Chains A and B, each alone.
Chain A
Amino acid sequence: MINLTIDNQKVAVEAGTTILEAARKVGVKIPTLCYLKDLNVIGACRICMVEVQGARTFIPSCVAPVAEGMVVRTNTPAVIAARKLVLELILSDHPMECLTCLRNQNCELQDLAKEFGITEVRFDGAKTEYPIDDSSPSIIRDPRKCVLCRRCMSVCTNVQTVQALCAENRGFDTLIAPAFNEKLANMECVNCGQCSLVCPTGAIVERDDTAKVWAALADPKKHVVVQTAPATRVQLGEAVGAEPGSIFTGQMVAGLRRLGFDKVFDTDFTADLTILEEGNELLQRVTTGGTLPMITSCSPGWIKFCEHFYPDLLAHLSTCKSPQQMFGALAKTYYAKKAGIDPADIYCVSIMPCTAKKYECRRPEMNSSGYQDVDVVLTSRELGRMFIQAGLDTTNLPEEEYDEPLGISTGAGEIFGASGGVMEAALRTVYEVVTGQTLENIDFEVCRGLTGVKEATVQVGDLSVKVAITNGLGNARKVLDKIRAGEADYHFIEVMCCPGGCIGGGGSPIPTNTEIRLKRIDATYTEDERMVLRKSHENPAVTALYEEFLEKPLGHKSHELLHTHYTPRGVNK
């Protein structure tokens, strides 16, 4: 243990602890901007400076380790003045557009300006001017609002290992952007939006598509249906101000109806359907000597990642579309027919915790109904804004149920939202379908949690099924490299693009951090337990769908509507 004093309090912490973390332990808050625990510890913004006795300069508390006998003062007038001037400098190179900024009132820079009591910026010199990059269907970069904290770059490089963003140019002209300031859409960017999740300001935001949805809702000719992804029900509460981990299913459904959606359906329904298609595909691959391990395909960021960086492994991907796209294809065929509505008049909206879904719905393969299957994707953040704009007190709305039939689901569909959920749902079904026996304990705890790579072997009849589960693309890489090296003997792998799975997706409410991810995961499994049905093959609406329309898993219609193919893309040189 290292002993030091911080603001006259004696503190003992482990060696290697930073001054910042040591201070937090004794309730001393030091402001930060670039720092993001475990993800971005680079000491760049210089907001967290403190005074250390004997030091020549102020010391950046976020990176400086404690030392024995250190005497730290965090709030002397001198250090406060220095921080304030540094912030004033940052603001002097910022377009003060709070009133027209998506991050208004949810912005770390704005918070600091308020905390520091900044009332004036004394410098009226040049500002960095780089054009907005709105080439991506998913996220929009406005370098003018960038404070160069590099959190986005760290996440993209270290967590996702995509490296779509880097530091370019020097000095005042420094820019965090794709190499050579290329447009994001031309990069290997997988649209995961993790950068938008960690950005302290409005410099990287989701593409706001709410106007399209307002317009559709206003159009009397349109029959507007909406699907809500599994993770959204444990996120929407946060998006309108509730505590992290709030379960908001009924309120969200009620809110969507009040906004004027004609039908409120659930992606959980097609999540159940995915299990039947994908489970059968797995059994088929196992019995007919197909490509193994098979890897899940519901995460569009992951798909694009595989297309760019592991095009040689595309045959491992399940051909199943994601639940969102299965839903879209069915909404404009099965549902249209059943409801007697011309699919041309159906406007299909998704609420997703994900920015990559905005890209996915525009893929050319996703027009199986003869129309763009999903018309527009809104992130949880965007729906939260629509609720607020509509003046809905969503938190206090009486809970409502999803519409039938595409709103019927099971707990298995629900847990798709958390890393390991798809695997657990698949195991629940595959076990019972293969063995014909009822599972005694349907909770596969080994699948759950935030661990980057989880592995398990599950006995299903005669077969020992070896599975792996990864979340975050850097973790996916570890398993993919094993496959490439011929060292992976798994049957089935679940890959989720975002850390923690969809509950931590790039369209999630801000902030999203480890602690909040864990709360959303807890809420997800609570929701699963509350469901009457918890196995996908028991979903009566799915059974009816097969009877009335699809006939059988992997059948002809399924292939037409529910399965897809992939494009090797490779890496830019």
Chain B
Amino acid sequence: MKSLDELAKIKESRRAALKIREGVPSATEKAHVMMCGGAGCISSKCLEVVDAMKEALSKNGIAEQVQIILTGCMGPCDMGPVAIVYPDATFYRRLKPKDAEAIVEEHIMKGNLVQRLLYRAPGAKEPTPKVTDIDLFAKQKKIVLRNNFYIDPTSIEDYIANDGYAALGKALTQMQPAEIIEEVKKSGLRGRGGAGFSTGMKWGFTAAASGSPKYVVCNGDEGDPGAFMDRSVLEGDPHSVIEGMAICGRAIGAEQGYVYVRAEYPLAIERLDYAIQKARENGLLGKDILGTGFNFDIEIRIGAGAFVCGEETALLTSIEGKRGEPRPRPPFPANAGVWGKPTVLNNVETWANIPEIILKGAAAYAAIGTEKSKGTKVFALAGRINNTGIIEVPMGTTLREIVFEIGGGIPRKKAFKAVQTGGPSGGCIPADYLDTPVDYDSLGALGAIMGSGGMIVLDEDSCMVDIAKFFLDFVVDESCGKCSPCRIGTKRMYEILDNISKGKGKEGDIELLVELATTIKATALCGLGQTAPNPVLSTIRYFRKEYEEHIRDKKCACNVCELEE
């Protein structure tokens, strides 16, 4: 592809071919079945459903008139396998291979919806067939996951049809590098990898840094237990990340990008690799992109799987082929990143926001969210909640809306106790704060963090000492061992907690935990150690009584901890 015109032509012709997914019936095609191919649905055997459906289509002689497309994660994992059938956008859930025939013969051939497979809102008598009418989706706002209901992740044309690479075209032909950076700054976008640093500022620092070449890196290490937001993006819409990175390349003057993906994500690696290949074939990566003279290419680096490799300096050393271990900052990656050169490092989700910001403008993006947290955020809902899975909501949505409206509340009529945000670096927020708007600063003020978007809901049966111990166990295992406070300090905290949970706690243990926690936070080398005590501190802050019961009364009110006599 050597020009914007060519890009526009592809878009036009593909868009026409995909009208059916916008609800316009087609003369030649009966349906597009978008089958969710996210991790959850794969594990609930969606591929068998696909096979059964193909068989049913062939049997009825309409294989040519129906497309089955495996998409990225659609979100409602606990309902999987799920599918959307276009043009009418019917949402089906909990599909079994044996349901394929009914969908083909009743719905696709006769236009009769298969009632038993439709979604029913909790307590509702009537099903909600249309995906856009379903409360769970209606409350969401999709920017990062904008394509997950619509495109085939292995089709660059699908991506282009939905405005893909238009932002890159705009950045290359209508914007100066400084304008791009300014636009990203004005959008208010903050890093989605955890720390929430202004993306535009980071790009500005790197652009201004001396040293060349410069690099663009995507952090796809995603090590938080239970998190799979980035995986969903990489599997479902890999071109959005490629496009975001290329735009940054133009903004800071870099020609090489790296995407660091954990080895545990083979499908993400495969999809991304394929997308990079297609982008190159189409002249959207490589030399002289869109005939503008701009060169940019991307390589994939596969991570060794340690959680700490997601920390930026560890990731950069790991890219260089060394043991992935954090190093002190400064120097920051903006000045000395990969191979010691100025480098922009952003999270997968951060990257996926970029095309939208450039294409629609900073103002439109900044209109979403709160004063200091703009845009949307993707969360992985887990724990004691009805709708587990991936959601994307505007910043500022309250915890209550997320848990009770989108998440469908707590199962088995149990009482909500707390929500743990930010994974092992985060904290627990109790019921009193359910009306807190979810944004970087509000969560921080409560002793929790936004983190990368993990949200674990806890009900009345969850013991907070046990929860704290669970997260601490994780960081003790994942500490890289370089600095003493984290290496030894988290271990000691774990040992004290373990004793408390076994009824062997002593008076003074809580104070000692707080002393350790405060010092580790203030002295550890990297973010892992600096945040590792958060789950303990926040549970002590809001649930101190539970700790005291374990220590004084040798009692676990939730009957979770096994106390020794």
Contacts and interface: CB of A to CB of B under 8 A. Distances in A.
B495 A171 contact: no
B495 A126 contact: yes
Given A57-B530, A86-B519, A173-B481, A148 B487 contact: yes
A240 to B, nearest CB: 34
A12 interface: no
A46 B478 contact: no
A58 interface: yes
Contacts of A147: 484
A46 B480 contact: no
A122 B478 CA distance: 24
Contact of B481 (A57, A85, A89, A171): A171
Contacts of A126: 491, 495
B102 interface: no
B330 interface: yes
Contacts of B481: 148, 167, 169-174
Given A49-B523, A85-B519, A171 B483 contact: no
A63 interface: yes
A36 interface: no
B427 interface: no
Contacts of A65: 330
A283 B540 CA distance: 80
The interface residues of chain B, by DSSP majority, are classed as: helix
A86 B484 contact: yes
Contact of A82 (B479, B482, B519): B519
Contact of A46 (B308, B476, B516, B524): B524
B8 interface: no
B325 interface: yes
A85 B484 contact: no
Contacts of B495: 123, 125-126
B492 interface: yes
A166 B323 CA distance: 10
A245 interface: no
A315 interface: no
Chain A interface size, under 10 / 10 to 19 / 20 to 34 / 35 or more: 35 or more
B481 to A, nearest CB: 3
A46 B484 contact: yes
A233 to B, nearest CB: 40
A46 B485 contact: yes
A147 B482 CA distance: 10
A93 B488 contact: yes
Contacts of A44: 482-484, 525
Interface in A82-118: 82, 85-86, 89-90, 92-93
Contacts of B306: 170
Contacts of A143: none
Nearest to B499: A125
B11 interface: no
Contacts of B142: none
Nearest to A124: B495
A407 interface: no
A171 B480 contact: yes
B522 interface: yes
B488 A90 contact: yes
Contacts of A81: 519
A64 interface: yes
Nearest to B308: A170
Contacts of A172: 476, 479, 481, 487-488, 491
Contacts of B328: 42-43, 60, 63-64
Interface residues of B, number: 34
Nearest to B330: A65
Interface string A57-85: 11010011100000000000000011001
A271 interface: no
Interface string B58-102: 000000000000000000000000000000000000000000000
Contacts of A256: none
Contacts of A122: 512
A246 to B, nearest CB: 36
Contacts of A58: 522-523
B489 interface: yes
Interface string A121-144: 011011000000000000000000
Contacts of B281: none
B488 A92 contact: yes
Contacts of B492: 89, 92, 123, 125
A171 B524 CA distance: 13
B515 A85 contact: yes
A443 to B, nearest CB: 42
A42 B526 CA distance: 12
B521 interface: yes
A44 B485 CA distance: 9
Contacts of B488: 89-90, 92-93, 172
A171 B487 contact: yes
Interface in B450-493: 476-485, 487-492
B523 A148 contact: no
A126 B496 CA distance: 11
Interface string B296-334: 000000000010100000000000000101011010000
Nearest to B491: A172
A58 B479 CA distance: 19
A89 B327 contact: no
Contacts of A90: 484, 488
Nearest to B530: A57
A76 to B, nearest CB: 12
A64 B489 CA distance: 22
Nearest to A45: B484
A171 B515 contact: no
Interface string B320-355: 000101011010000000000000000000000000
A170 B519 contact: no
Interface in A465-508: none
Q: Which of B327, B330, B489, B519 has the most CB of A within 10 A?
A: B519
A172 B327 CA distance: 18
A49 B521 CA distance: 12
A42 B479 CA distance: 17
Interface string A307-323: 00000000000000000
A170 B480 contact: yes
Contact of B522 (A57, A63, A148): A57
Contact of A174 (B327, B485, B487, B489): B487
Q: Which of A47, A126, A170 has the most CB of B within 10 A?
A: A170
B477 A170 contact: yes
B141 to A, nearest CB: 32
Contacts of A64: 328, 330
A87 to B, nearest CB: 8
B477 A171 contact: yes
Q: Which of A42, A64, A90, A125 has the most CB of B within 10 A?
A: A125
Q: Which of B308, B485, B495, B524 has the most CB of A within 10 A?
A: B485
A171 B492 CA distance: 12
Contacts of A49: 522-523
B19 to A, nearest CB: 53
B328 to A, nearest CB: 4
Contacts of B512: 122
A166 B485 CA distance: 21
A58 B525 CA distance: 10
A45 B487 contact: no
Interface string A289-307: 0000000000000000000
Interface string B38-65: 0000000000000000000000000000
Interface of A: 42-47, 49, 57-58, 60, 63-65, 81-82, 85-86, 89-90, 92-93, 122-123, 125-126, 147-148, 166-167, 169-174
12 contacts: A43-B328, A58-B523, A89-B488, A89-B489, A92-B488, A92-B492, A123-B495, A148-B484, A166-B323, A167-B323, A171-B490, A173-B481
Kindly list the 8 A-B residue pairs having the minimum CB-CB distance in the complex, ordered from nearest: A174-B481, A171-B479, A125-B495, A43-B328, A89-B488, A63-B328, A172-B491, A46-B523
Given A85-B519, A171-B487, 5 more contacts: A57-B524, A86-B523, A125-B491, A126-B491, A126-B495
